[in-house]
C-alpha cells in the first residue's frame, strides 16, 4: 500500500543511517569523544530554556545532523495547544538550525527534523479532528511539516471506531505531516491488545514514514497475563529486530534511532545498538529495498 501523502515533507533532513537519542548523562562524554553514529536526536524540552543547554546543542549541531523530538505538546488533548510552549519549540528549531527555511529554499537539506508523539486518546472522528487541528497549528508555527509518532498503549477504549494505522493514515492525508514509526511501540501495543504487528506495518502509509525508532521494553505479569511496558530501559528485543527487518523490507532504508531513556547504560552500549541497526540499513540498501523502486 502506498499513498501520496508525504508530498509536503522536504527532502529527508536526517540521513538513512542509524542515530542515537542523546540524553543528559552522555552530553559530556559525547562532546569529548564524539560517537561514531550518523545523527543525534534530542528532546526539545531539554533545551527550551536556552542558556548553557542550548550551547551544548549548538556544539553537537556542528558535528551531527540533529533531530528535535518534542515530548511536551499534547497533540491529542482537547482544547487549545499550549501556545507559549509551541512558540518556544519554534524558537528552538530556528535557533538550532538557522539555515532551516524550507519555504524559501525547498531543495536545501536542513540538518534537523521535528517530531512528536501521537496522542493516547480514543481513536474516534472527534479525536482525529482534534489531533489534525493541533498538527496543523504546530506545522504553521514551525513553517514546515512535522513527523508524528505512533504511541505505545496499554489500554483501548471500547468506543474507538478507527484502527490506529487508519487513524494515522487519515492524519497524514488531512495535514500533510509525516510519520515517525516506532517499531518497538508497534510491538508493545500489538501484544497488549492482541493485534497483529505485521498487519500494522503493512497498513501504515509507507511514503509518509521518514524516521524509525527502536528501543527496549520490559514485560509485566498481571494476573497471569503478559503486559509489555515501553520503558526504553534495555536493549532492543529480538522480535523487535525482526519486525524492524520487515519494516525495512517494505519501506527501504529509513533514518533509524536507538532510544534509551531509563537505566541508561554507557554511551558505547547505545553505539553498539546503532551499529546493529546500521548493518540492517546497509543490507536493505544493498538489496534495493528502496521505497521508490
Partner 1 sequence: MLALPELQRAFAAAILTEEATPLAGIVKANGIAAERRIQVYRNNSLITLGEALKATFPVVCRLVDERFFDYAARSFIRAHPPRQPRLAEYGDGFADFIGGFAPAQSLPYLADVARLEWAINVALSRAGPRAAAAGDDRRDSGRGLSRADLRPRPGLRRAALALSGRRAVAGQPAGSRRQAASRSVPANAACWSIASMTTSGCSVFPPASMR
Q: Are 217 and 188 in contact (CB under 8 A)?
A: yes
**Residue 195 three-state SS:** coil
CA 63 to chain centre: 21
- By CB under 8 A, is residue 96 in contact with partner 1? no
Q: Taking the complex as a whole, how short is the minimal distance between the CB of residue 289 and partner 1, in angstroms?
A: 34
Q: Taking the complex as a whole, how short is the minimal distance between the CB of residue 8 and partner 1, in angstroms?
A: 26
Binding test (CB under 8 A) with partner 1, winner from 127, 171, 180, 248: 127
If the CB atoms of residues 220 and 287 are measured against partner 1, the closer one turns out to be 220
**Residue 80 three-state SS:** coil
- By CB under 8 A, is residue 104 in contact with partner 1? no
d(CA 250, CA 14): 19
Q: Taking the complex as a whole, how short is the minimal distance between the CB of residue 49 and partner 1, in angstroms?
A: 4
Binding test (CB under 8 A) with partner 1, winner from 55, 99, 199, 219: 55
Binding string, 196-225, against partner 1, x = CB under 8 A? ------------------------x-xx-x
- By CB under 8 A, is residue 157 in contact with partner 1? yes
d(CA 219, CA 45): 28
6 to 219, 240, 241: CA distances (angstroms)? 35, 25, 26
If the CB atoms of residues 60 and 244 are measured against partner 1, the closer one turns out to be 60
Residue 115 CB contacts under 8 Å (≥ 6 apart), including other chains: 67, 68, 69, 70, 146, 147, 148, 149, 180, 211
**Which spans of this chain sit near partner 1 (rule: CB under 8 A)?**
24, 27-28, 31, 45-46, 48-56, 72-74, 77-79, 82, 85, 120-122, 124, 126-127, 130, 154-159, 193-194, 220, 222-223, 225, 227, 229, 262
Amino acid at each position: 500500500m502506498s499513498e501520496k501523502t508525504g508530498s509536503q515533507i522536504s527532502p529527508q533532513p536526517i540521513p538513512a543511517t542509524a542515530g542515537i537519542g542523546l540524553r543528559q548523562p552522555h552530553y559530556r562524554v559525547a562532546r569529548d569523544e564524539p560517537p561514531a553514529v550518523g545523527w543525534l536526536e534530542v528532546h526539545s524540552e531539554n533545551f527550551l530554556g536556552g542558556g548553557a543547554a542550548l550551547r551544548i546543542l549548538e556544539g553537537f549541531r556542528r558535528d551531527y545532523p540533529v533531530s528535535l523530538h518534542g515530548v511536551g505538546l499534547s497533540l491529542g488533548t482537547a482544547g487549545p495547544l499550549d501556545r507559549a510552549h509551541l512558540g518556544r519549540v519554534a524558537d528552538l528549531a530556528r535557533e538550532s538550525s538557522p539555515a532551516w527555511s524550507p519555504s524559501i529554499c525547498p531543495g536545501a537539506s536542513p540538518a534537523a527534523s521535528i517530531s512528536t508523539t501521537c496522542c493516547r486518546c480514543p481513536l474516534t472522528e472527534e479525536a482525529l479532528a482534534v489531533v489534525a487541528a493541533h498538527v496543523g497549528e504546530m506545522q504553521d508555527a514551525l513553517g514546515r511539516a512535522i513527523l508524528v509518532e505512533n504511541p505505545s498503549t496499554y489500554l483501548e477504549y471500547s468506543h474507538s471506531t478507527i484502527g490506529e494505522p487508519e487513524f494515522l493514515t487519515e492524519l497524514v492525508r488531512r495535514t500533510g505531516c509525516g510519520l515517525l514509526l516506532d517499531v518497538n511501540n508497534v510491538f508493545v501495543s500489538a501484544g497488549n491488545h492482541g493485534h497483529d504487528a505485521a498487519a500494522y506495518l503493512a497498513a501504515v502509509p509507507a511514503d509518509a514514514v521518514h524516521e524509525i525508532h527502536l528501543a527496549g521494553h520490559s514485560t509485566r505479569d498481571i494476573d497471569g497475563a503478559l503486559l509489555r511496558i515501553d520503558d526504553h530501559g534495555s536493549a532492543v528485543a529480538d522480535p523487535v529486530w525482526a519486525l524492524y527487518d520487515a519494516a525495512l523490507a517494505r519501506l527501504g532504508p529509513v533514518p533509524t534511532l536507538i532510544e534509551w531513556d531509563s537505566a541508561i547504560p554507557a554511551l558505547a552500549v547505545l553505539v553498539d545498538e546503532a551499529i546493529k541497526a546500521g548493518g540492517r540499513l546497509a543490507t536493505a540498501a544493498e538489496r534495493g529495498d528502496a521505497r521508490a523502486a
